[in-house]
Amino acid sequence: MPASPISHVQHILPARRTDLVSLRTPLTLFLISLGAIATAWWWLGIPVSLVRAPIDPNDKVQCISYAPFRNNQTSLSPATQVSPEQVAEDLAQLAKITDCIRTYATDLGLDQIPGLAAKAGLKVIQGIFLDRDRKKNATQVETAIRLAKEYPDTIIALVVGNEVLLRKEMSASDLAAMIRAIKAQVSVPVTYADVWEFWLSNRELSDAVDFITVHILPYWENIPIRAENAAAHADEMRRQIAAAFPGKEIFIGEIGWPSEGRMRESALPSRVNQARVVSEVLDLARREHFRVNLFEAYDEGWKREIEGTVGGSWGLFDSEERTLKYPPGLPISNFPSWKLQMCGGLALAILIFGAAWLTLRRKPREPGFAAWLAVGVSATTAGILFGVAAQRLLYESYGTGGWLVWGSLLVAATASPVFGANALVSGRAPPSFLELLGPKGYHTESMLVTLHGLALAVTIVVGTAAALGLIFDPRFIDFPFAPLTMAAVPFAAMTLLNPPTKGMRPLAESIFAGIFVAATVYMLFNEGLENWQSLWTCAVFILLAMTLWRARA
């Protein structure tokens, strides 16, 4: 007897109902992921309105450090020669926010600055750069004396040497003798500039100078100071120096905060923190009636070569476009392009879930809730951190090598959750180095696994280089927490849910795992527990170490 239409429909409906139920979980996780990414970026992008703007159009800053180097120009190269047009353009811009600039040398075309500053209506605190090269020092001194005589109404002081005691390039007695010799030849006040500790340990220098120029940089203190406490710390140090040298004016020759770079304990470089420190220091100087020179006018990109990201990020104007970071009247955000970054993160999350659904269609399988949850966590993590990693790539990459290294890490970090979604849904184990680089019989024939293995290899190699840098030369090394997290989370999820088949533990993965563990132990002691960038990076190193330790060949 043939089946009735009703029984046929009853047979189809449960199957369709099962399909709908199976789609409900990934669809719910997908919507949650998009909502979390949007919420996170809305929170990250919230602007801050300070009580007093860093740059007040109605009240110019007293003085600001100025170096004219742009693009590929660097003070490290004797071939650098700054054009007068370039300097004039900068000084016209700076004249709108200050009446005074401080320079640091007289070579490389910087001897043009006083004449151009006079035309722009700016006063100049002229610097004389000193180091171990006595012939070069003599040229610097000769040029500065000539400029002081040629522009007596523009140059208001000479700074003989900048932190040469800190760098151990001259003795205090030789420096004092040079200062006295220069004073005898000029009519303007003469001083020396160094960090406050070196004034306290070389008090005899005070007799040689007309006033004391002290550098107070809370970020660089041996015990770094939080941005919220930077102004109070500067005032405390100023008072301490004043008590040590009664009768001498204390001029704060450098004070500021970096807008980008790595944390030092609780001291976090950021746009908001830079604006806060500058505005609070200027307000303090107004109330307490002391002279202060901000460090500095423009970001100096060339310094990233020797001081890392943080070294090139102290300016109130950016290096390339020469645009003011904090236009008057506008609130300040650490992520001024957060809407674009959010859209990029949402697009990446859609791609990750799309890869999972495409895998499900091509390889019908019943992935459990844990697999879809892992896809959701990977998509959410990547969607939030993609914009952070991209912004850090922009500021942290220096030179062709830097762009290649950090660019390749961002590509690997972006590809990792996409390939990871395929592996999580299909039940595939994470790739091993042997599958990628091993001999015939071990080497995979799958292009998908090969690409996934390449993403793993790039992540581990660049991550290891960063780990070794944070052990042996950590002062200027940035913490790559954002791209490493994007890559590490899906690999860890695969290792947990789709563990490798039993076999021998590969030597290469074990060595890399050991390096990550060693770096974590060292960083916890060296960076302290207040540095959240360090703690985050340590957690990612441990996640990568656990993933590599569970690898099998």
At 344-361, the pLDDT tens digits run 999 999 999 999 999 988
DSSP 8-state code for residue 498: S
Q: Which two tokens stand for residue 149?
A: 């005589």
Q: Give the distance, in angstroms, between the CA of residue 133 and the centroid of all CA atoms in the same chain.
A: 33
- Spatial distance between the Cα atoms of 324 and 297, rounded to a whole number of angstroms: 9
Distances, alpha carbon 72 to alpha carbons 47, 79, 104, 304, in Å: 32, 12, 19, 12
Identify the pLDDT of residue 1: 47
In the prediction, which pLDDT does 552 show?
79
**In 151-249, alpha helices (H):** 172-183, 196-200, 230-244
Which ranges of the chain have pLDDT less than 50?
Answer: 1, 5-18, 20-21
332: DSSP letter? B
| pLDDT score, position 9 | 41
The predicted structure's pLDDT at residue 364: 64
451 burial (CB, 10 Å; 0-12 / 13-18 / 19+) is: middle
Please report the pLDDT score of residue 20 as a whole number.
44
* Two tokens, residue 326: 């904090």
Structure tokens at 398: 């220096």
Q: How far is CA 523 from the centre of its chain?
A: 18
C-alpha dihedral (400, 539, 525, 258), degrees to nearest 10: 50
- Predicted confidence at residue 3, as pLDDT, reads 52
Q: Choose among 270, 314, 256, 267: nearest CA to 44.
A: 270
At 441 the pLDDT is: 67
Place of tokens 């950590």: 474
Neighbouring-strand partners of residue 214: 194, 252
**Angle subtended by helix axes 481-497 and 447-472, to nearest 10:** 130
Residues 33, 350: Cα–Cα separation, whole Å: 9
Report residue 506: phi and psi, to 5°.
-65, 145
Closest to 193 measured CA to CA, from 159, 218, 221, 168: 159
What size, in residues, is the chain? 553
* Domains detected in the chain: 24-45+337-549 (no CATH), 63-311 (3.20.20.80)
- Which runs of consecutive H residues, i.e. helices, occur in 186-337? 196-200, 230-244, 271-288, 304-311
Q: Which pLDDT score, from 0 to 100, does residue 49 have?
A: 85
As a whole number of angstroms, the distance between CA 265 and CA 244 comes to 29
User: Which residues make beta-bridge pairs with 125?
Assistant: 102, 157
pTM of the shown model:
0.91
